Structures are given as C-alpha cells and as structure tokens.
Amino acid sequence: MNPNDKIRDQILQWFYDRNASAKSRRGKNGSEAKISEIKKGLKDSFGLSPKEVIANLTYLIDKGWINESEITKTVKTKEGNTIPSSLTWYVISSAGIDKLEAPSDYSENIRYPGINIGGAGSIITIGDGNIVNVNYKPLHDELEKLKQTIANSNLDDNQKLEVSVDIETLKDQLAKNTPDKTIVGYLWTKIEKVAVISGFHDAITKITPLVSGLIQ
C-alpha cells in the first residue's frame, strides 16, 4: 500500500464529514473550506503537517475527489483604490462521496450509461469508475498495478500509451461474465512482450497464471 494512501483517506474523510454536517455552502459551518481551515482541521483530527496536507490535497484535486474553486472580489483600500482579492475554496466532489459511500443508483456510470450495473449480480464498480466481474477482480487489480509500473518506467510515451491502451482493453473484458478468450489471450501476449523486455518479472509471475486460468 502506498504510504500516502492513509493520508489521502484521512483528508477525504475529513471533507466528507464536513460536508455531511454542513449547514451552509461556505462559512464556519459550510461544506466548503479555505486552506487555512483545512490545515488546522487535519492537524487537529489526524496530526497531519501542512506539507502532508498540501501534497496529498493536490493529488486528490487532480484525481477529481476534491473540487477547487476560486472566488474573486473587489476590495477597496484605505487610499480609495480598488484591487481584486481572490480566495480559494475546497469541497469534496460527488466522486469523492461515491468513493466513501455504499453503491447508489445516483452514482454515475460513465463508461456504461443506461446500464444498471448494480443489478448485474457479480458485477461491481471499483474506485476508479471501472466495472469488473468480482470473479476476475484479482486479475484486474494486478493489471492496474502493471499499468502504474509502466507509467513510472523509462519507456517512451508512445510505448506507454500503446501498452496502457491494451491493458485497459483487457480490463474491459473482465466486466463480462465470460470474457472473450481470444481477445484476452491476444492482448496479454502483446502486454507480456513489453513487460518481459522491460524487466517487469514480478508482474508477469502474478498475472500469467490468472490469464491462463481464464483462457483455458
């Protein structure tokens, strides 16, 4: 587990709790918070340092778990001049709420609109919005780890994109009750070739038996 995940969970939980108890949009009891309130709240609740807060808040914003908005007002100085003054507010997003709550009919299924995923029995929605049959979740998780490893590797961007697209296409097959064996086998052959050349032997060791069990 990434050591920052615990901090991110704490930050997201703090925003969730604030939103749940809010009596207004902004202000002392508002769902939105200023950075000074966030730093103080997370220090009091979890002992987080300002550095930990900023680094992981930036990540959560980039991933869409937290929304950021800037409000600009005109302020009059003592000299009678007017200058713009900006204040940034932060609030948990609907995606952040969905991540912490149980599955809901209101949760947006971006990839498969119009389909009641929750009523599909063994099909589950995971944190990144992807859909997977619970029977194939171990393979899905290992493929996601491999994709992250590739993203952080020394491969050039074109190679990273090519293999990442193949991984995502293979993961899409794992939403089915019966994935297409030909497609899965073909895609894994391409992905494995890159993984071998790049030295990702640990990933190959974990994924190969899972794929083999699926296509046999």
| Per-domain boundaries in the chain | 3-99, 120-215
As a whole number of angstroms, the distance between CA 130 and CA 186 comes to 21
Q: Answer yes or no: are the C-beta atoms of 131 and 112 closer than 8 Å.
A: yes
What's the pLDDT score for residue 127? 47
Q: Answer yes or no: are the C-beta atoms of 174 and 140 closer than 8 Å.
A: yes
CATH code for residues 3-99: 1.10.10.10
Closest CA to 63 of 4, 104, 105: 4
What's the pLDDT score for residue 87? 86
CA angle at 60 for the pair 39 and 86, rounded to the nearest 5° = 60
Q: Answer yes or no: are the C-beta atoms of 22 and 91 closer than 8 Å.
A: no
Structure token digits, residue 103: 């599955």
Task: Look at the block and give the residue holding tokens 């590797």.
Answer: 153
For the segment 160-194, what is each residue's pLDDT rounded down to a tens digit?
999 999 999 999 898 888 899 999 999 999 999 99
As a whole number of angstroms, the distance between CA 153 and CA 113 comes to 34
Residue range 56-72: average pLDDT?
Answer: 90
Residue 101 pLDDT class (50, 70, 90 cuts): confident
Residue 8 pLDDT class (50, 70, 90 cuts): very high
